[in-house]
């Protein structure tokens, strides 16, 4: 059994960094101000009560993704959705197969729950694409769960439905399920992708209104799972959060009613910003990476080696931040987000270039 993990060091690091004026480490779009929505006090049902498995929110989530409400479990953000799903799906000693590189809290949660963690590689030489052959080579008869992100965190690589279906079939052959963190999937605006929950009951999917919709403060997360598993997750949550804060549930329902307004400017913003980043990447001999086509984040390699000197210089002299690749087990890379307002991203990239010019 892997050594039990008692915390997420990455989340502690990320939440305790001093703010930078040019935050290239951000992994979400600009926050959406809720006072832009036509909200009255009566809309929030401020009666002090909580609502058990609040059906209107489950219905709103289900309507958006074509999923029946009995497949929807709500949770406090994608992080809690992932933890609740994992806690339901695995027991101590279970073999869990996790992509590499991976978003550290997924790895930490599996370790906390006592999983025997194995890895399969998403190769940087192939743009970090999800490769079913790599999954097949790492699967064993003991594997109980495969964990992936789509879009991939940190690289933003997209896995299409045919690839996901193949991974699901491989997992099913050994009696394993597949957990897909889909929190970035909605930022693949040109793909018209549906949730992997539609590929079969051996898929479990998580997401939220955070990264793509700028509504992280609502902590509106969810899990899609077959009804027996969904029921088990609801019952397990009675040991954890029991119920969500009801005013946040009401605000989330209102946001879903007007989601087209919430997301209205985001596709154009991200398309414009990806183009800026791609031009920057092409201009740099000291960076290697895949041009962005989807998503909010990318994961270039610095040819200078460990990016810690670059991160420190950006902080000290340029009021700019990136996420060092050590948090994704690849210290010569860094995660960069393009969700900022375009003029801020443009200046941040200029500062990144100036810092790179000063380093060997």
Element spanning 100, H or E: strand 95-100
* Contact between residue 179 and residue 145 where contact means Cβ atoms under 8 Å apart: yes
Given CATH 2.60.40.1180, say whether it is the number of domain 45-261.
no
Q: Tokens for 290?
A: 């895949």
Q: How far apart, in whole angstroms, are the C-alpha atoms of residue 14 and residue 4?
A: 22
Strand partners, 220: 76
CA 353, distance to chain mean position in Å, is 27
How is the chain split into domains, by residue range? 9-30+264-357, 45-261
203 dihedral zone (left: phi>0; alpha: psi -120 to 50; beta) = beta
Q: What is the pLDDT of residue 1?
A: 44
Q: What is the pLDDT of residue 192?
A: 84
Element spanning 112, H or E: helix 104-112
Q: What is the pLDDT of residue 3?
A: 61
Neighbouring CB atoms inside 10 A of 251's CB total 22
Compute and round to an integer the Cα radius of gyration of the chain.
Answer: 20
* Contact between residue 113 and residue 86 where contact means Cβ atoms under 8 Å apart: yes
Q: What is the pLDDT of residue 38?
A: 87
Neighbouring CB atoms inside 10 A of 102's CB total 24
* Contact between residue 77 and residue 56 where contact means Cβ atoms under 8 Å apart: no
Fold of 9-30+264-357: 3.90.1150
What is the block-wise mean pLDDT of the chain (360 residues), using blocks of 10 residues?
A: 76 94 97 92 91 97 98 97 98 98 97 97 98 98 98 98 98 98 96 95 97 97 98 96 93 96 96 98 98 98 98 98 98 98 98 97
Strand partners, 320: 22
Sign of CA dihedral 162, 187, 219, 259: negative
Q: What is the pLDDT of residue 341?
A: 98
Strand partners, 119: 98
* Contact between residue 358 and residue 313 where contact means Cβ atoms under 8 Å apart: yes
For 50, the 3-state DSSP assignment is coil
Q: What is the pLDDT of residues 195-238, one digit of tens each?
A: 999 999 999 999 999 999 999 999 999 999 999 999 999 999 99
Q: How far apart, in whole angstroms, are the C-alpha atoms of residue 162 and residue 224?
A: 19
| 3-state SS track over 37-77 | CCCCHHHHCCCCCCCCCCHHHHHHHHHHHCCCHHHEEEEEH
Q: How far apart, in whole angstroms, are the C-alpha atoms of residue 288 and residue 301?
A: 5
Q: Which residues neighbour 239 within 8 Å (Cβ) at sequence distance 6 or greater?
A: none
For 206, the 3-state DSSP assignment is strand
């Amino acid at each position: 059994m892997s050594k039990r993990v008692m915390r997420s060091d990455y989340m502690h690091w990320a939440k305790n960094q001093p703010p930078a004026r040019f935050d290239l480490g951000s992994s979400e779009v600009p926050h959406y101000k809720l006072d832009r929505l036509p909200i009255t006090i009566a809309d929030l049902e401020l009666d002090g009560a909580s609502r058990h498995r609040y059906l209107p929110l489950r219905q709103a989530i289900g309507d958006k993704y074509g999923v029946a409400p009995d497949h929807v479990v709500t949770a406090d953000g994608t992080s809690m959705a992932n933890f609740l799903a994992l806690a339901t799906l695995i027991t101590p000693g279970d073999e869990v197969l996790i992509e590499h590189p991976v978003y550290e809290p997924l790895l930490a949660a599996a370790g906390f729950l006592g999983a025997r963690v194995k890895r399969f590689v998403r190769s940087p030489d192939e743009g970090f694409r999800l490769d079913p052959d790599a999954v097949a080579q790492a699967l064993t008869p003991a594997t109980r769960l495969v964990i992936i992100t789509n879009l991939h965190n940190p690289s933003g690589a997209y896995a299409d439905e045919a690839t996901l279906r193949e991974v699901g079939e491989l997992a099913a052959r050994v009696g394993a399920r597949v957990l897909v963190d889909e929190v970035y999937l909605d930022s693949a605006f040109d793909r018209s992708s549906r949730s992997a929950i539609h590929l079969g009951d051996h898929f479990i999917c998580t997401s939220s209104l955070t990264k793509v919709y700028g509504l992280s403060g609502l902590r509106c997360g969810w899990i899609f799972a077959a009804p027996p598993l969904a029921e088990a997750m609801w019952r397990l949550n009675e040991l954890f959060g029991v119920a969500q804060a009801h005013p946040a549930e009401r605000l989330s329902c209102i946001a879903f009613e007007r989601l087209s307004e919430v997301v209205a400017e985001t596709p154009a913003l991200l398309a414009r910003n990806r183009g800026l980043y791609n031009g920057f990447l092409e201009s740099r001999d000291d960076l290697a990476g895949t041009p962005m086509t989807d998503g909010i984040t990318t994961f270039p390699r610095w040819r200078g080696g460990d990016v810690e000197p670059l991160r420190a210089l950006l902080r000290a002299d340029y009021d700019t931040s990136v996420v060092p690749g050590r948090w994704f087990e690849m210290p010569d890379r860094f995660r960069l987000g393009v969700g900022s307002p375009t003029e801020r991203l443009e200046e941040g990239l200029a500062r990144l270039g100036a810092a790179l010019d000063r380093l060997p």
